[in-house]
Chains A and B, each alone.
Chain A
Amino acid sequence: MQLTLEFGGGLELLCDSKKIHNVNVEQQNGEDKLTMKGLLSWVKTNLIKERPEMFMKGDTVRPGVLVLVNDCDWELSGQLSTLLEEKDVVVFISTLHGG
C-alpha cells in the first residue's frame, strides 16, 4: 500500500534528514490489514537510521511525539489500532526539541 510519511520537529534527523518519504508498506506480523502498530514497526526497521529511542518507546511512539493520520490526531482514530488505507498521509512530529 502506498503511503506518504512525514517526519518533523527534529524527527527527520533520525531518517537521513529527509522529511517526506513515499513508501510502499504491506501488512505486518500477520495482521489482516495494516494498522498504525504495524506501520510503526515497519518504520522502526526500515526508515529510522539512528537513535530509535527518540522515536519509539515500547511498541508505540515515545511520549511527546505527535501522530496525525490524514491531518487528524491519531488519538481520535484509535492510536495503534488505526487502520491505514491506500494513499494515507501519516505525520510524526516531535514536540521535544527547542523552544
Chain B
Amino acid sequence: MSLRQIELEVLRYDPEQDDEPRFQKYSVPCQEEWVVLDALNYVKDNLDGSLSYRWSCHMAVCGSCGMMIDGEPTLSCKAFLRDYGSKIRVEPLANFPIERDLVVVLDDFMSKLKRVKPYLIPKQHKPIADGEYRQTPRQLKLYKQYTLCINCTLCYAACPQFALIPDFIGPAALALAHRYNLDSRDGGRAERQEEVASHEGIWECSFVGACSEVCPKSVDPAGAIQQMKIASTVDWYLERLMPWRNK
C-alpha cells in the first residue's frame, strides 16, 4: 500500500455564520486505493471535525454521499483517488440549496417524488387469501433497471433543465414513475399521468441525457422520459380522436 498526498479543496458553508460559501484546503495522506469519501473521513477524524457531509454505506447502495467532485456529480464512495489528480475539488451537489458544507437540502426532491406516487397501486385489490400477484421474468425485465435508482439525486445535479426550471419534476422521480407504470401488477398510470404529463413533468425535459450519464446505478432516466413522452403523445391523440375511450 502506497501513500499519496492529496490536496482536497472542499466547499465550506455554514449559513448561520458565513455570508457566502468558501473553499478550504486540506492536505490529506491517502492510501492509493481510497475513494474521495475515505479522504473526507480522514479530514473529519483527524484534521477538522466541523466538516459536514452525508454518507452511510460506503458501497454505492444508500445514495447519500453524492457530491460534485471536480465539477462532476459523483458518489464520493465510488470516486477512486487513482482516477483523479493530486488536487481534488469537492462541492455539494449542484442545483440544490446548501444546508451546510457538503450537505444539501432535499425537501424539494422528496415532495416531487411523493407527487408521482412511486409505489404499487394495484389494478384491483384482492384479499391475501387469494395469493400473491404473479409476474413472469419477461414482465419483470421490462421495469427492473428502473428499480435500481437509489435516490442519490446526482441526475438532478447534472440536469441543465432542472437548473433552469426548478419546478421540473426531474429525472429520478420521473424514472420511478415509469418503473411503476411498467409494472404488470400496477394500475396507477392514469393517476401518475396527472403529474407526469403536465408541463412540469416530462415536457420540461429537452433530452440532454446528462442524467443517464452520471447515474451510478446505470438507470436510464432520459430513456424513461422519452418513452413516457411517446406514450403521453399517443394518449393525447387518443383522448381527442376517440373521446368515447375516456372514462
The answer on A and B forming one complex is no
Question: A-contacting residues of B (Cβ < 8 Å)?
Answer: none
A interface residues, Cβ below 8 angstroms from B? none
